[in-house]
Amino acid sequence: MIDLRLESVRRQATRVRTGDLESLAVLVDPARAVLVCDPEVRRLHGAKFPPCPVVEAPRGEEGKSFASFVTLAEAFSGLGVGRRWTVVAVGGGAVLDLAGFAAATWLRGVDAVFVPSTLLAMVDASVGGKNGLDLGSLKNQVGVFRPPREVLVDVALLDTLPDAEFAAGMAEAVKHGVIEGGAHFAFLEGLGRARPSGAALGELVGRSLACKARYVEADPFEELPPEAPLSRRVLNLGHTIGHALEAAAGLGHGRAVAAGLASICRFQASRGALPDRDAERIARLLESFGLPASVAETAALAGLDDDPAFRSRVARALPADKKRDGSGLFASLPAGIGAVRVERVELAELSRFVMEAP
């Protein structure tokens, strides 16, 4: 069991446990719990749920809409969810975001327990306390900082995860490897093209959780100055261009972040701020997991023409980044594998790069 002491408005801690889904029964009181999941997760794993009410939410980004939130809040009202209840979320990152936001705002806050069922959710969305809703195509524009009481990590749930969704989660795992560098990055390179299982899968998830926890513990509310060594904004590596690609191409989060990570590395290399060999090494690692490593590949995956109109849509989406600061934004920028820092970048410079990048 890993204890992550994360400050929140209630001074509570998030405890990350490893175990199987059945152990939920000892973490929550079924008489005062409501479980939120999508229909597919319920079909696959519903037999292991504790005996409590289940509310289904749409799968994927559709679940992070205001309409989904209102539907969930109405379900809470109908069930009589009270202040001593626990909201249990089982699913991918979108379901965790929706249920976490609902728990944080229902009656001004009730406890939440997360059980991530995708690799992306295990290594990223489940830990950190960020819960957000999308505003149309704009990612996480409305949200709160409120960590769950518990996170239950059951890697056996990944056995039913399609290869494409597993690969999407590898984008965040590679991001953590770039941030940490050294043995962490070498471990990922050593996985080759095979989908990890057994001890290797456990190590993959554990390394990512440890990386993210280090930054979240140091800067739970993103209040440290951007230049601080443990500024949580470092964890946005790949997301500045990634979120713009997600909005412009309608591609899933993991693949958009992968292309965004490779692109921000090329951006840094074009400025002489990152060795070409490091940028190429990172792109090769992403490609080894079947992930896109360029803006052009993102367009192709989305079935779109890689033309000036598409590039313009990507460039126009950049200013919606939550880290915007006037004519620029604070971006997480790699100076090397294992050397990532946050710096202010002019939007005009980044937009020019997006229009011309591979």
Q: Where exactly are the structural domains of the chain?
A: 2-160, 163-356
* pLDDT confidence of residue 5: 40
User: C-alpha distances in angstroms, 74 versus 34, 118, 270?
Assistant: 13, 27, 51
**Pick from 158, 156, 166: nearest CA to 22:** 156
Q: Cα separation of 286 and 182, whole Å?
A: 17
Enter the pTM of the model.
0.92
CB within 8 Å of 42: residues ≥ 6 apart:
49, 54, 56
Sheet holding 54-56, edge to edge: 2-4, 14-18, 150-153, 111-116, 86-91, 33-37, 54-56
Between the ranges 54-63, 171-180, 192-201, where is the mean pLDDT highest?
Answer: 171-180
Helical (H) or strand (E) element with 217: helix 198-218
Question: How far from chain centre, in Å, is Cα 108?
Answer: 25
Which span out of 16-30, 131-145, 190-204, 295-309 was modeled with the highest average pLDDT? 295-309
Amino acid of residue 292: P
* pLDDT tens, position by position, 98-133: 999 999 999 999 999 999 999 999 999 898 889 999
d(CA 95, CA 101): 10
CB neighbour burial string for 119-137, b if at least 16 within 10 angstroms, e if fewer: bbbbbbbbbbbbbbbbeee
Beta-carbon contacts of residue 121 (< 8 Å; ≥ 6 apart): 91, 92, 93, 96, 114, 169
pLDDT at 76: 98
- Average per-residue pLDDT for the chain: 93
- Where is average pLDDT lowest: 266-270, 319-323, 334-338, 345-349? 319-323
What pLDDT, on a 0 to 100 scale, did the predictor assign at position 138? 79
The top-level CATH class assigned to 2-160 is alpha beta
Query: Could you tell me what percent of the chain has a pLDDT over 90?
Result: 87
- Beta-sheet strands, E only, within 282-338: 324-325, 328-336
The pLDDT confidence band at residue 13, using thresholds 50, 70 and 90, is: low
Q: Which amino acid is at 339?
A: A
The dotted CATH code for 163-356 is 1.20.1090.10
Q: What is the pLDDT of residue 3?
A: 45
Return the percentage of the chain with pLDDT > 70, whole number. Answer: 96
